[in-house]
Amino acid sequence: MIAEAGLAALWLAFSLALLQFGLAVASNRLGDLKTLVAPVAVAQGVLTLLSFALLIWLFLRTDTSVQLVAANSHSAKPFIYRFSGAWGNHEGSMLLWVTVLSAAGALLALVERRLPERSLRATLGAQALLALGFFGFLLIASNPFTRLDPAPLQGQGLNPLLQDPGLAFHPPTLYLGYVGLSVAFSLAVGALVTREVGPAMARAMRPWVLGAWVLLTIGIVAGSYWAYYELGWGGWWFWDPVENASLMPWLAATALLHSINVLAARGSLRAWTVMLAVVAFSMSMIGTFLVRSGILTSVHSFAVDPTRGSFILGLLIFYTGGALLLFALRIASVREGARFEIVSREGALVANNLILSVILGTVFVGTLYPVAVEAVSGEKISVGPPYFNATTGPLVLILAAVLFIGPLLRWRRDSRPNLRRIAGPVVVTILAFALTFIDPEMNLLPRLGLAFAAGLAAASFLPLAGRDLRRTPLTIWGMVISHLGIAVAMTGAAADASLTRETLAAARIGEVLTVGPWKVRFNGVDPVAGPNWTAIEGHLVATRGSTAIRLDPQSRYFSSPPTETNEAAITTRLDGQLYTVIGKRQGDRWQLRLWWKPMVTFIWLGGALIALGGLLALIGRLRRERGRPLPLAEART
């Protein structure tokens, strides 16, 4: 009965979303009934949560009479993977998506008090319309509660590659981020409908965008680290379409985050901000479409299913197209924002937005180009790292240069920017560039990357200069830490691209290999067993100077379904990571791959700093704006 209850809850939520949309559209003629929009949104959210909770329960019980559970779970699996198995598949992950969408709408209805009521109702109407499409998708094309008769005795299990604690919580984090942007989208649509595009909208939108952006950042960084240690490839970004699918909304959200600040603080960039809110969520939907449709060659694609692909494509066209049409019709009536000069904080933020948009554009073109080419000429191509590195690399450097000076400029106009303040970071940049010539082999791009990163790290602290650090608002700390994070991550990326040393060999027991500054002795192998796998474990001892470290990489074999995975053994030092993988047996020799990756941890450390900065800014905003209603005059603009 659990599955039937879950399905019923889903249908009920669907009906409530329909009601919510109807009420919002007709609210002007409804009198007191219009106050029902918010409670209906809350009820819809609760029912969807219930439906998702029931699906999780089915997975925890391994109820194989449900097709989805039978296909994706196994009672012998550790508890946490029976739990995460609920969203480690197409139907479950789409239910998670809708759940987050509905819950976000409910939360908005509960907490938002600063928007004009009319705008809030229109926003909840837009959120209901979004939910309707995805409910329809689930109920028509991807019902997670379908029964299987006769029920098999045992399920098929979860792909072992997905059996990793990091991965269990990676998709929900990303989805929270993706779908958090749906609120920004709905707020933009609501503001366009009621012609209330202004600082009030921006302030209502800001915490959602900040929250979504923090979660997206964490999701991307965690996914990157997962790929790095779990796949045993030693790489951290592959420009795979599915990775791009998460990067594109992140780029749009980053631009949005900066333009919202201009709109909230200064009233400028109204049309641009609304546009970015529409683009950011559209990128989330494009991401979902790319992952779910299987139209692109990706190592992550779940299923090749044209019906599902075209359904999501239909939703994408309807929502994005509808929002853009509304934008075109209403934008002329959006009030002018406050003026500013080109050399000003606003000007720098516009530059930041333009560069981010160009990066987004090149990633977008590169990701979708194969689809377009195949549609036009039938020729099958794929675009890979050479393209993405060549186009985005230089743009990131330009962005870093804008980051030097932007935070130092004043709002509105800065006719004589204090150039002396950036002299320090510029000197640091030049010195760092000179230093890179210690390694004559390095390419120009990593050299410049390291130099700009050093300069940016120095420049990012300048906004704190002359302030009382204990009284500095959290939002300023957030900006400083995020910008520092960009510098740290750039350092890691440039170091990984230019300083990594690799040794690949088939080694006999007792053999000693060299990689970078390390001597690695191969001491043999042992069979080991886990809860649902067996493995060959290699024993390595790495020495550098007086330190000796044991490393035990494994090559694992899972029986259900039959799969092999590599568990890299990694040791983290202050100056980098030693990364070891054991491969196949070749007679009396074993394949070993050793990498010495100086400063590689900076990539994820930087990512963590970026997310931490966003979190601090979010806390700062919520604290500052709590219980402080906008003056009426401002709320009307």
Partner 1 sequence: MTLAPKHQRLVLVLLAVAALIGAVMLAMWGLSDRAAYFRTPQDVAAGRAEVGVPLRLGGMVEKGSIQRMPDGVSVAFVLTDGVGQVPVRFTGIVPDLFKENSGAIAEGQLGRDGTFVADNILAKHDERYMPPQMGNQAAELMTRETAK
- CA 24 from chain center: how many Å? 31
The maximal CA–CA distance of the chain, rounded, in angstroms, is 84
List the interface residues with partner 1, window 192-251 (CB under 8 A).
232-233
Please answer whether residues 370 and 296 qualify as being in contact, where contact means their C-beta atoms are separated by less than 8 angstroms.
yes
Nearest-angstrom CA–CA distance, 35 and 23: 9
Quick one: angle between helices 165-193 and 90-111, nearest 10?
Answer: 50
Q: What Å distances lie between residue 513 and 176, 503, 506, 584, CA to CA?
A: 45, 8, 10, 17
> Tokens 């790095």 correspond to what residue?
228
The piece of 76-84, 97-105, 384-392, 493-501 that touches partner 1 (CB under 8 A) is: 384-392
Task: Please say which residue, 53 or 271, places its beta carbon nearer to partner 1.
Answer: 271
The piece of 137-145, 321-329, 339-347, 448-456 that touches partner 1 (CB under 8 A) is: 339-347
The piece of 189-197, 290-298, 315-323, 510-518 that touches partner 1 (CB under 8 A) is: 290-298
> Tokens 């035990």 correspond to what residue?
552
If one asks whether residue 92 binds partner 1 (CB under 8 A), the answer comes out as no
The piece of 145-153, 360-368, 467-475, 543-551 that touches partner 1 (CB under 8 A) is: 360-368
List the interface residues with partner 1, window 45-64 (CB under 8 A).
none
Closest distance to partner 1 from the beta carbon of 402 (Å): 13
If one asks whether residue 636 binds partner 1 (CB under 8 A), the answer comes out as no
Nearest-angstrom CA–CA distance, 618 and 177: 14
Sign of the dihedral through C-alpha 248, 254, 257, 262: negative
If one asks whether residue 360 binds partner 1 (CB under 8 A), the answer comes out as yes
Cα three-residue angle 567-168-55, rounded to 5 degrees: 140
Nearest-angstrom CA–CA distance, 66 and 56: 12
If one asks whether residue 586 binds partner 1 (CB under 8 A), the answer comes out as yes
The piece of 170-178, 280-288, 585-593, 628-636 that touches partner 1 (CB under 8 A) is: 585-593
Task: Please say which residue, 34 or 300, places its beta carbon nearer to partner 1.
Answer: 300
If one asks whether residue 372 binds partner 1 (CB under 8 A), the answer comes out as no
If one asks whether residue 430 binds partner 1 (CB under 8 A), the answer comes out as no
In the three-class reduction of DSSP (H, G, I as helix; E, B as strand; rest coil), residue 176 is classed as helix
Closest distance to partner 1 from the beta carbon of 26 (Å): 35
Closest distance to partner 1 from the beta carbon of 353 (Å): 9
Closest distance to partner 1 from the beta carbon of 157 (Å): 9
Task: Please say which residue, 291 or 493, places its beta carbon nearer to partner 1.
Answer: 291
Task: Please say which residue, 310 or 391, places its beta carbon nearer to partner 1.
Answer: 391
Nearest-angstrom CA–CA distance, 95 and 122: 25
Please answer whether residues 47 and 13 qualify as being in contact, where contact means their C-beta atoms are separated by less than 8 angstroms.
yes
Q: What are phi and psi of 457, to 5 degrees?
A: -60, -45
The piece of 57-65, 319-327, 451-459, 586-594 that touches partner 1 (CB under 8 A) is: 586-594
If one asks whether residue 342 binds partner 1 (CB under 8 A), the answer comes out as yes
Q: Which residues pair with 522 in a beta bridge?
A: 540
For residues 467-504, b (16+ Cβ closer than 10 Å) or e, as one string? eeeeeeebbbbbbbbbbbbbbbbbbbbbbbbbbbeebe
From 589, 619, 622, 634, residue interacting with partner 1 (rule: CB under 8 A): 589
Nearest-angstrom CA–CA distance, 229 and 570: 8
Q: What Å distances lie between residue 225 and 7, 250, 500, 602, 604, CA to CA?
A: 36, 17, 17, 11, 7
Nearest-angstrom CA–CA distance, 56 and 180: 22
If one asks whether residue 384 binds partner 1 (CB under 8 A), the answer comes out as yes
**Bond from prior residue into 440 cis (ω within 30 degrees of 0):** no
If one asks whether residue 637 binds partner 1 (CB under 8 A), the answer comes out as no
From 35, 307, 382, 559, residue interacting with partner 1 (rule: CB under 8 A): 382
Nearest-angstrom CA–CA distance, 129 and 133: 7
Count, residues near partner 1 per rule CB under 8 A: 65
Task: Please say which residue, 117 or 564, places its beta carbon nearer to partner 1.
Answer: 564
Closest distance to partner 1 from the beta carbon of 158 (Å): 10
Closest CA to 285 of 332, 308, 317: 317
If one asks whether residue 591 binds partner 1 (CB under 8 A), the answer comes out as yes
From 22, 314, 322, 361, residue interacting with partner 1 (rule: CB under 8 A): 361
Binding pattern to partner 1, positions 500-539, x when CB under 8 A?
----xxx---------------------------------
Closest distance to partner 1 from the beta carbon of 123 (Å): 25
Output DSSP code: residue 147.
B
List the interface residues with partner 1, window 563-582 (CB under 8 A).
563-566, 581
Q: By the criterion CB under 8 A, which residues form the site for partner 1? A: 159, 161, 232-233, 269, 271-272, 294-297, 299-304, 336-337, 339-342, 350, 354-355, 357-362, 365-366, 369-370, 379-384, 386-387, 390-391, 395, 413, 504-506, 555, 561, 563-566, 581, 583-584, 586-587, 589, 591, 593
